[in-house]
Chains A and B, each alone.
Chain A
Amino acid sequence: MKWLLFLVSLLWACTAYADTLRLAVTTSFENSGLSEVLLPAIRRDTGIDVQLLVVGTGQALRLGRAGDVDAILVHSRAAEEQFVADGFGTHRREIMYNDFVLIGPSSDVAGVAGQPTILKAFQAVADAEATFVSRGDDSGTHRKELSIWAEAGVSSEAFGRWYLEVGSGMGASLNTASGANAYILADRASWLNFSNKGELELLFSGDPALFNQYSFLPVDPARHAHVNHESALLLETWLTGAVASELINGHSISDQKLFVFNALDRPE
C-alpha cells in the first residue's frame, strides 16, 4: 500500500501545470514552418504557450469532439461546419488559405503538366493508369483529393492497382510517392519543405479549385467545461489581427509565398 502511494505521487509529480493552450493543427501548418514563426510571436504578444498536436484533419476534429484540445485549426469546410452544427465548436473563423499542388515523376507519363484544369489533370492520371499515391487517412488533403476524383468523374471503383492508398501523413505519403515515382496531391508548403524529392516534380498548380481554406474553431466550453476557452478567444483575436497578417503573408520557402491571410474583421 505504501509503495502504491509512492507510485501515485510519482505519476502526479510528472504532470505539468501551466497556462497553456492545446491546439490541434494539420500537418501542413507544421511542415510549412509557419508554426515556428507564429508560436514565438503568440507567446510574446499574448503570453499563451501554445502546444501543437500535429495530426490529420479527421483526428483533429476527433480530438476537439472529445475535448482533448482547446481549439483546432484545420482545412475541411464541410467537416468544420458539421463540427459547429453538432455543438462541439462555438464558431468557425477563417484565417488564411494556401493551395494544393499535383506532384509527379519528372517524366510526367500521364501528361498532366499542360492540362487546363485539375479535373483534366486527374482524368489524365486515371486514363494513363499512372501510379498515384493517396493519403487515405481521412485528412483534409485526402478529402480534397477524393472530391476532385468525384468531380473529375472517376469513381472509386475505377481505382486499380495504380492507386495506392497508404493511410499516412503528408510526409510519409510523399516518401512513398518518391520511392514509387508516383503522382500525389500535396499541399504546397509540405512539398517545398520536403527533402527527399527524388525524381518528383511539381507538375500542376494554380487552379482555384485547389485553394485550401484554414479555419480556427474553439471547442465549446458549454460541452467541455475544462477547456481553456478564454485563451482560445485571445488566440483567435491575435490570429485575425495585424501582426498575424504580416507574419502569415510574409512567410515563404525558396521565395515562394505559402499562405494568404484572409481573415475578416468579425466572425461570420
Chain B
Amino acid sequence: MEAILFYILAALIIIFAVASVTSRKILRAVIYLLFVLISIAGLYFLINYNLLAAIQLTVYAGGVIVLFIFSVLLVHHVELELEKTPLKRKIIAGILSLLGLGITLWSIFTYTFKTATTTYSSIEVRDIGLKLLSYGDGGYILPFEVISVLLVAVMIGAIIVAKGEKLKEN
C-alpha cells in the first residue's frame, strides 16, 4: 500500500515538474509548481515527518506560491504567453541535464548503502525543538540564531529594495 502511494506521488512529482518547466503560460507553471510541492509534502507524510510536511505546506504552498502569483500578476498579463525557447538551446540543455542525470545515477547505483536495520518511529516535534535550542554537543543553537538574523535582514532588505527610490526618467 505504501509502495503504491509512493509510486503515485513520484509520478505526480515528475509529471508536474516537467509541466512546470515547459509550460508557456507563466501562471500555469506556478500552479504546477504548487502541485509538485504538495506532492513532496505527501512524501514527508509518508515517512512520518509530520512537522516537515506541515512546514512544507505552510511555507511553500502558503507563502512562496502566493508571492509568486502576486509577482506574476504584478508584472504580466495573465494570458501572456512566454517566448519560445530556441530549439538549439533546448537540445543543449536537455543533453547536459541527461548527462548529469546519467553520471549521478551511475554513481548512486554503483555505491552500496548500508541501510539501517533499526526500527523507526515518527519524530517528535519536541525532539527537533530541543535539538535546535541545545548548546551542548551536536546542538544547533548557532545556526538557528544565524537563520533568525538572516530572516530579519532579508525582510528589511526586501522592503527597502521593493520600495526603491522614486523613478528617474530615462
Partners in one complex: no
